[in-house]
Chains A and B, each alone.
Chain A
Amino acid sequence: MTTGTTAGPVVRLEGRLWGLTRRQRTTLRTTLPVVVLFLPPALLLFTLFVVLPMGEAAWYSFYNWNGYGEPEQWVGLRNYEFVLGHKVFLTALQNNGLIILVSLLVQIPLALWLANLLAHRIRGALMFRLIFFLPYVLADVAAGLIWRFVYDGDFGIVSGALQVVGSEPVFLLAERETAIWAVLAVIVWKYFGFHMMLFIAGLQAIDKEVMEAAEVDGATGWQKFFRITLPLLASTVRLSVFFSIVGSLQLFDLIMPLTGGAPGNSTHTMVSYLYQFGVVRLQIGFGSAVGVVLFVISVTLAFTYRRIFMHHD
């Protein structure tokens, strides 16, 4: 017993090289090449294209700088004060919130409903899936331009249809009251197909036997949906909501051709605000401050959401 206990450490000491055990050495031998070969490229790219630009943006945000030469005019927190007090930015922030809200209340329920109809092998399901998915495939800029024509008061189909029933020509994108809702309708149209596809994939992964068992037990359609489908689909729904939030924060290329922020800067999102007030106006320092604010909001939302709702997934 005594020898056994003393022999142990001795053997291990003999097996050590540079203070490492044999097992540690084996691990090192197998993982080291992987680390040496695969980490540097990724790390380098990540540093070059993510970490450095973020650091630079944070640095520029303290300057009054028009993008030419080197930033020299230190203005402290003035850019941040201006962003957070600018009514157009606050409108943009509100619009981003509205987009998330409409995604949650309209887009995802709609997608869920359609997915339920189309997840089973019924006649025409494939064709309908394709049709509903088409808007998502379309480039954002093209979709924006198409809808600009659709909403046009003089030549567009929406106004034309309303005029048939005796209304005056309507210019939905030109009125402060209606413009943002018209934009939201396009967003729902553009992205519901994507969420529908996610849900169809999720629904097809649900075991059929569970559903059959419920049917045998005499569950109604609603009961089946709320007791079986929805709980089993919960992780997909959480993912879908996550995509909606991220998508809202990135929304830019649909807004620019559709309204460009008009009427009167009322339909900007935070990103189109950054472009219009930072890049176009050659206020690169200010634009960087907007970028930093946007970054903080995104990171906070993304991490909080993942922490609270997606920690099981």
Chain B
Amino acid sequence: MTIVRTGTSVAAIAAWLGIAGAAAAQTTIDMLHVENNPDAIALWETLAAEYETANPGVDINLEFLENEAFKAKLPSLLQSDEAPDIFYSWGGGVLDIQRESGALRPLTEMMDADGGAWRSTYSEGAINGLSFDGDVWAVPYRTGVVAFFYNKEQFEQAGVDAAAIQTWDDLLAAVQTLKDTGLTPITCGGADKWPLHFYYSYLIMRNGGAAVLEAAKSGAPDAYLDPAIVRAGEQVAELGALEPCQNGWQGSRWPEPLGDFADGRAAMILGFEDTNLDQVSQATDGVGLAQDNIGRFAFPAVEGGAGAATDTFGGLNGWALTANAPDEAIDFLRWFTAPEQQRRQAEATGMIPVAVGAEDGVVDSLVRASAEALATSSYHQNYLDQDLGPNLGRTVNDVTVELWDGSTSPEEAAQTLQDTAMMDEM
């Protein structure tokens, strides 16, 4: 009798809880990101609110982690119960490690449904860049290209013509002329190192073309000892020997170089596609350089190099889903990266969208130039410190600075890369 009574009351409570639960059935989607641009965050929050209004059962929860902390914390986070549903990804070797561990939810099936209706909303390159072993592992979000930005007034003052910088030797000559005029040619983020790895990576691409990097990435024997990589090291050392950077460049952390450029303390910066917009927020006076005072030119070619000047180097970002992410998370991402939403984000933040048809959201002329460079790119390479995985990637950053300040030789640098690659392979 007692047992039965307890049984019924438990059932009653369960039913009551079930009803209450159904009434408030909210799916919360945690989205972990590294964005610190207030304009972008404000827009994301607006977009999330719009989505929540259209889908009353879903709560979007944006969570921020600082860049370095994000990368350091993610491995343990992904393997815990606290894993976010969606997180920001740079693709490359790190994404590959994550999907190999089973931490991610593949998207191929959803992308290919209805004859690839979803897949076809993105550029093919973006999808390929986030695919491994035939599966898509992240929803494409933005892309970019690294190029030189320069201060037009200072170039004029030194009598340097940016349009004439076509080869590496032209760049070295320009650096020397700027220096002779008493200007700081380049601002360098030597403490963070990755801002300088752009130079080494680009030079490897310009010297060796796609073949060298593809061989290296596929783990071909002694691929990093290729003459093109050694030659690139020599060129980094050549530039470094001219002492082109601001005083104290070895202690400079991002975004300090951006501030140097914004305040006119350096004539050039090799930076992201939105450098001209981003510099404003880092200027001491809050204004920075006038937009018509900023010019852009592509990384120069190398005489006799196998790579084309139209080969591009830059980021490709996406949103990865963790293995236990609900379907609502996928639906949200699909909406979040749809052409209409991407257009609004491009307008507000200066990012280059990957959704087909969102290009016209790019309103700034310099960002548009980057977008065009990407559209006509003959070969696109993701950041090496992402693409090669965290260990080898950061070793590239390390040796770039050592080449720059002359503390290692081009041969030693290549050997260090080779040794690290073999250590990773083992």
Q: Which residues of A contact B (CB under 8 A)?
A: 64, 66-69, 73, 75, 78, 82, 152-154, 168-169, 171, 173-176, 179, 259-260, 262-265, 275, 279-284
Interface-side segment among B55-63, B70-78, B288-296, B374-382: B70-78
Roughly how many angstroms separate A168 CA and B246 CA in the complex, as a whole number? 13
Roughly how many angstroms separate A262 CA and B391 CA in the complex, as a whole number? 18
Closest residue of B by beta carbon distance from A153: B248
Roughly how many angstroms separate A262 CA and B103 CA in the complex, as a whole number? 33
Complex A-B: 29 CB contacts under 8 Å: A64-B426, A66-B75, A68-B98, A69-B101, A73-B426, A78-B423, A171-B247, A171-B251, A173-B251, A174-B248, A174-B249, A174-B250, A175-B250, A176-B250, A259-B251, A260-B192, A262-B191, A262-B193, A262-B251, A263-B251, A263-B401, A263-B405, A264-B402, A279-B72, A280-B390, A282-B94, A282-B389, A282-B390, A284-B75
Q: Known: A175-B250, A264-B402, A280-B390. Is A67-B76 also a contact (CB below 8 A)? A: yes
| Number of chain B interface residues as a range | 35 or more
Closest residue of A by beta carbon distance from B71: A280
Roughly how many angstroms separate A154 CA and B193 CA in the complex, as a whole number? 20
Residue B398 CB within 8 A of the other chain: yes
On chain B, the residues within 8 Å of A275 by CB distance are: 72
Closest residue of B by beta carbon distance from A275: B72
On chain B, the residues within 8 Å of A260 by CB distance are: 191-192, 253
Give the contacting residue for A264; candidates B72, B248, B250; CB below 8 A. Answer: B250
- Mark interface residues in B413-426 (1 if CB within 8 Å of A CB, else 0): 00000000001101
- Mark interface residues in B379-393 (1 if CB within 8 Å of A CB, else 0): 000000000011100
Roughly how many angstroms separate A174 CA and B100 CA in the complex, as a whole number? 39
Number of A-B contacts (CB under 8 A): 95
A179 touches B251 (CB 8 A): yes
Closest residue of A by beta carbon distance from B79: A68
A68-B97, A154-B265, A280-B72 known, 15 other contacts, Cβ within 8 Å:
A64-B424, A68-B98, A78-B426, A152-B248, A173-B251, A174-B249, A174-B251, A176-B405, A259-B191, A262-B193, A263-B191, A263-B251, A263-B401, A280-B390, A282-B75
Residue B252 CB within 8 A of the other chain: yes
On chain A, the residues within 8 Å of B71 by CB distance are: 280
User: Which residues of chain B from 93 to 118 have any CB-CB distance to chain A below 8 Å in the complex?
Assistant: 94, 97-98, 100-103
B190 touches A174 (CB 8 A): yes
On chain A, the residues within 8 Å of B191 by CB distance are: 174, 259-260, 262-263
On chain A, the residues within 8 Å of B390 by CB distance are: 66, 280-283
Whole-angstrom distance between the Cβ of A253 and the nearest chain B Cβ: 13
Residue B394 CB within 8 A of the other chain: yes
Roughly how many angstroms separate A194 CA and B94 CA in the complex, as a whole number? 43
On chain B, the residues within 8 Å of A168 by CB distance are: 247
Q: Known: A68-B100, A174-B190, A280-B394. Is A262-B250 also a contact (CB below 8 A)? A: yes
Residue B68 CB within 8 A of the other chain: yes
A67 touches B75 (CB 8 A): yes
User: Which residues of chain B from 243 to 259 have any CB-CB distance to chain A below 8 Å in the complex?
Assistant: 247-253
B97 touches A282 (CB 8 A): yes
B97 touches A66 (CB 8 A): yes
A171 touches B402 (CB 8 A): no
B97 touches A262 (CB 8 A): no
On chain A, the residues within 8 Å of B72 by CB distance are: 275, 279-280
Roughly how many angstroms separate A260 CA and B252 CA in the complex, as a whole number? 11
Whole-angstrom distance between the Cβ of A11 and the nearest chain B Cβ: 59
On chain A, the residues within 8 Å of B102 by CB distance are: 69
Whole-angstrom distance between the Cβ of A275 and the nearest chain B Cβ: 8
Residue B27 CB within 8 A of the other chain: no
On chain B, the residues within 8 Å of A82 by CB distance are: 423
